[in-house]
Structure 1
Amino acid sequence: MEKSRKEKIKEKLTFKYRFVVLNEDTFEERFSFKLNRLNAFVFGGIFSVLLISLTILFITLTPLKEYIQGYSSSEMQKETTDLVYKVDSLNQILSVNDLYIENIQQVLKGEIKRVTFNKDSVLRQFQIDEIDFAPSSVDSLFREEVEQMDRFSVFQQAKKNTDIVFSSPIKGQITEQYDDQEKHFAVDIAVDQDTPVKTVADGTVIFTGFTADTGYVIVIEHGQGFTSIYKHNASIFKEQGALVKSGEVIASAGSTGNFSTGAHLHFELWNDGYPVNPTNYINFD
């Protein structure tokens, strides 16, 4: 009985049917063909596979795929790649800036000791008593020769060949001049309490903070190796990382810090890591 069932199934699959197309009016035969169920299944399967394959290729190789949810456009992929590279570059720049700012903060807080300045200086290094500043005879002759040639030492002047035009940070009377012999690498300008303090040139704020000795301090980097420092402020109006324009108000003058004896601005100007005389670049009158 089992055998007869298989034979019946095989007979159904292989039984041939003849399909004829006739003219409706004349009943004339146009064409005909024979087909069994097995052939229909085979042709149907092949046709389905080809149709699915062609559809997949058409969607994959044409812009049509961009209209399907889940696919991103080629332009979006390009923009995403560019953004990834930009973010990576910015992360590297931020890492360098963070390290630079961290070092500046350590210098301003006295954690890095490089040079012994007076009570208002930014950098502190070693005990001045440990250093022998007595010049030798050769050194004295050399210094005299350099001064006669109208040149300068590192702590007296810096290069004046700069494209930066500096403006006065505040108007007032200079009560203490820049003096490298006394290690006072700044000018002190007496003003009224809360007088606006302005930045001397375009730049970036690289440090803001408060110290017990110098009160509220703000440091601005101007490019070409120049950095300006403003101390003993009553308050600071800018945050670290802010971009400032020349003449923009950044703080108000005051008398904060243990080393201040009255309302004034303690202003320092540095070039390539060395203090310079601000009066060589700025007219405070």
Structure 2
Amino acid sequence: MTHKRYKKKYLSILLIPDDESSPKSLKIRYSVLRIGAVIAILVVLLFFIGVFSYGKLVQEAFENVSLRQENAQMAKQVQRVNEMAAELNKLKQLSEKVRNSLTGYVKITEDVEKLPKQNPADRLKENSIETIFTSIPVKAPVTGFISQEFKRSVHTGIDIVAPQGTPVVASADGSVLYSGWTMDGGYTIIIGHTNGYYTFYKHNLRNLVYNNQRVKQGEVIAYLGNSGEKSYGPHLHFEIWKDGKPIDPRKLIPRFD
């Protein structure tokens, strides 16, 4: 009975050396083996739990980074929406002013009344053939080549390509209706002329005139540029409107080179 209990309590391991010395016996309690097995299992479980937890932490870290990036992107989009809303409001005001001007409800030469009174001889001079000629947009605003022609339904002007910084001149005498920035057209100038003519100059590098300023035909009003979201390179987008409708600039200005 004692021998059987002894055999159940211990596990004997026989160690045989290579040098032909006497074999040695190693006895290990079964309880120690069970504890060792439990510890090994716990170590393995803790290892996998640690790997899983580390993976979760890494995933959460990536998700946090991604979330911060999304928040930053959303903040930029909100800012962009606010800017677009402000720009839209600005464009609505401009559109109303231009529409009224093109239909004759608003006079764009508001500063004319502030000018000194002219005598009959001066008025006669202004009504001369030369004055009438300079009040019609017949002068090319810039010298270059036409990259896109006039198409009434899709492109209400022409695109004139020239080096950036090239001076842009007024096509005719008139009054500056608008000089400022629009999202699509960048730095834009709109000039009102007599006889129902209006000219548009878009994508400028810099405007040199201000609202309601009187300009002369051939006067430098801007420098050619590449501003605005719809610009594809340095060029001038030039439009001529007559009585509220766009017309092909080539009808009045045959050559731009």
TM-score by length of 2: 0.48
TM-score by length of 1: 0.44
As a proportion of its length, which structure holds more helix?
Answer: 2
Q: Which has the higher contact order (CA 8 A, sep 6+)?
A: 2
